[in-house]
A and B are shown apart, each in its own frame.
Chain A
Amino acid sequence: NAGVTQTPKFQVLKTGQSMTLQCAQDMNHEYMSWYRQDPGMGLRLIHYSVGAGITDQGEVPNGYNVSRSTTEDFPLRLLSAAPSQTSVYFCASSFALAGEQYFGPGTRLTVT
């Protein structure tokens, strides 16, 4: 199993550009989520999904969209990038909501 994979690993955007961060898992996990990690702020939940076709907002959803058309994939879309979105983004999945989260390697995003 590859586990949780994320692409790209690094990305630089200009303010106002849009892009999609990809996340995929091959463990048949129902629960997937996106976090951003900023110094001194820990991990903050952006969006999550409890299964294909079901998504919900986390703590900091503004400026981000998600969809879950398949069990395996959970892309995160930045609609119009802002410098405040400079961060490291982690995708995670788990078999059950209360189960162990498996984290991807992260995407380091810089918005200039």
Chain B
Amino acid sequence: AQSVSQHNHHVILSEAASLELGCNYSYGGTVNLFWYVQYPGQHLQLLLKYFSGDPLVKGIKGFEAEFIKSKFSFNLRKPSVQWSDTAEYFCAALRWSNQGGKLIFGQGTELSVKP
């Protein structure tokens, strides 16, 4: 079973629209959560991460995410998207184990922003 689920496979928005991408993880215990972005033709890069403390995490380029433990969710948000935000977005969760840990990614959400 997929440990990290992203509900939206493809999202299409107009510039200045608000964005929310869903992410749920399916296991308990200590969890570290991440959002990565892959712009067309580029490497994956880190947008933001949650380890502990304030559940509202701010990242680069105006993105933020909220960790809601009771809902096992870590949704990504941006108040006003730009054409340059067109990319694929991946949620990831670090599962700790006796051998260290595994960083598990979701299926990804492709975001297309129309100018």
Contact = CB atoms under 8 A, between A and B. Distances in A.
Interface in A37-52: 40-45, 48, 50
A94 B101 CA distance: 13
29 contacts: A33-B103, A35-B105, A41-B107, A42-B6, A42-B105, A42-B106, A43-B92, A43-B105, A44-B105, A45-B102, A45-B104, A48-B102, A48-B103, A50-B99, A50-B100, A54-B99, A56-B100, A58-B102, A59-B104, A90-B44, A97-B94, A98-B32, A98-B51, A98-B101, A100-B46, A101-B36, A101-B103, A103-B45, A106-B43
B67 interface: no
> Would you call the interface of chain B mostly helix, strand, loop, or mixed?
strand
Contacts of A58: 102
Interface string B80-106: 000000000010101000011111111
Interface of B: 6, 9, 32, 36, 43-46, 49, 51, 90, 92, 94, 99-108
Contacts of B49: 100
Contacts of A33: 103
Most buried by B among A48, A58, A101: A101
Interface of A: 31, 33, 35, 40-45, 48, 50, 54, 56, 58-59, 90, 92, 97-98, 100-101, 103-106
Contacts of A43: 44, 90, 92, 105, 108
A103 B90 CA distance: 13
Nearest to B43: A103
